[in-house]
């Protein structure tokens, strides 16, 4: 059984579950994967409490132990920023925890050559803590939007998705996507699990979608979860 630690945010956790179902496409109810979603929305905000490392770690540990206790074989966490706590969390849990940024790196390495420019759209915390750089450097060149676009567009888009205002989120994220495309990024990591909801919900970015420019960590994590589930 797949254990899913959600609630960071709730929309992203539900999006992950939907992707699990779509990947499998069972012909009957019994063919779909068994999973438990623990929507632990009480986990402290990762951005606001970055300095309170132990407080967030303890909350993540509590959530993972709940899934472990309920006989899950491994855990998937559909939240990029939460992976800042991954290595310490892993030490305290007795079942495997999939590493989303590492999976995205391995996926990218299959289709992109060394020194390829890769765009990263993510929360301030994900960028600040080098969650993706730790895997992508020095093989790839990670490009992030300028501070002004990050503050006025990316952060707003993430907030809009959390509020259920996906159309506004789509409009907000456009300048950031266009900037990375102008910087000749061959791929763009949607490094906050709210962002795929904003981008794939509507018909904008049609050309980029068709060219498979966007990398959706939630989808990549869901695919890896299904592979492990069937193993």
Q: How far apart, in whole angstroms, are the C-alpha atoms of residue 208 and residue 195?
A: 15
> The CATH number of 2-99+219-230 is which of 3.10.450.50, 3.30.70.100, 1.20.950.20, 3.40.50.1860?
3.40.50.1860
Q: How far apart, in whole angstroms, are the C-alpha atoms of residue 4 and residue 217?
A: 15
Q: How far apart, in whole angstroms, are the C-alpha atoms of residue 104 and residue 140?
A: 12
- The pair of structure tokens assigned to 214 is 């966007």
Q: How far apart, in whole angstroms, are the C-alpha atoms of residue 35 and residue 122?
A: 27
Q: Could you read off the pLDDT of 75-95 as tens digits, one per residue? A: 999 999 999 999 999 999 999
Does the pLDDT at position 47 exceed 70?
no
Cβ atoms of residues 144 and 127 within 8 Å: yes
Segment among 25-29, 97-101, 172-176 with least mean pLDDT: 25-29
Q: Which helix (H) or strand (E) holds 92?
A: helix 86-92
C-alpha angle with apex 191: 119 to 53, nearest 5 degrees? 125
Same fold, 2-99+219-230 and 101-217: yes
C-alpha angle with apex 23: 17 to 24, nearest 5 degrees? 95
Q: Where are the domains of the chain?
A: 2-99+219-230, 101-217
Q: How far apart, in whole angstroms, are the C-alpha atoms of residue 144 and residue 120?
A: 5
Q: Could you read off the pLDDT of 128-166 as tens digits, one per residue? A: 999 999 999 999 999 999 999 999 999 999 999 889 898
In the numeric block, the tokens 């450097």 are attached to: 137
CATH number of 101-217: 3.40.50.1860
Nearest Cα neighbor of 135 from 8, 220, 46, 223 is 220
Does the pLDDT at position 48 exceed 60?
no
Q: Could you read off the pLDDT of 93-132 as tens digits, one per residue? A: 999 999 999 999 999 999 999 999 999 999 999 999 999 9
What's the confidence (pLDDT) of residue 51? Answer: 65
């Amino acid at each position: 059984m797949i254990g899913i630690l959600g609630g960071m945010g709730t929309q992203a956790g539900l999006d992950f579950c939907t992707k699990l179902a779509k990947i499998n496409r069972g012909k009957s109810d019994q063919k779909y994967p068994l999973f438990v979603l623990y929507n632990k929305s009480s986990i402290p905000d990762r951005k606001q409490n970055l300095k309170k490392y132990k407080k967030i770690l303890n909350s993540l540990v509590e959530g993972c132990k709940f899934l472990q206790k309920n006989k899950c074989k491994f855990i998937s966490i559909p939240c990029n920023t939460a992976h800042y706590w991954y290595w310490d969390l892993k030490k305290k849990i007795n079942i495997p925890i999939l590493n989303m940024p590492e999976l995205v790196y391995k996926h990218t390495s299959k289709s992109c050559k060394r020194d390829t420019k890769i765009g990263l759209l993510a929360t301030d915390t994900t960028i600040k803590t080098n969650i993706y750089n730790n895997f992508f450097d020095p093989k790839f060149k990670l490009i992030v939007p300028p501070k002004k676009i990050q503050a006025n567009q990316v952060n707003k888009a993430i907030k809009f998705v959390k509020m259920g205002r996906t159309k506004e989120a789509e409009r907000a994220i456009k300048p950031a996507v266009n900037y990375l495309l102008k910087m000749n990024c061959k791929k763009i990591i949607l490094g906050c699990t709210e962002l795929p909801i904003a981008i794939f919900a509507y018909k904008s970015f049609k050309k980029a979608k068709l060219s498979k420019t966007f990398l959706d960590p939630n989808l990549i994590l869901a695919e890896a979860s299904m592979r492990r589930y069937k193993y």
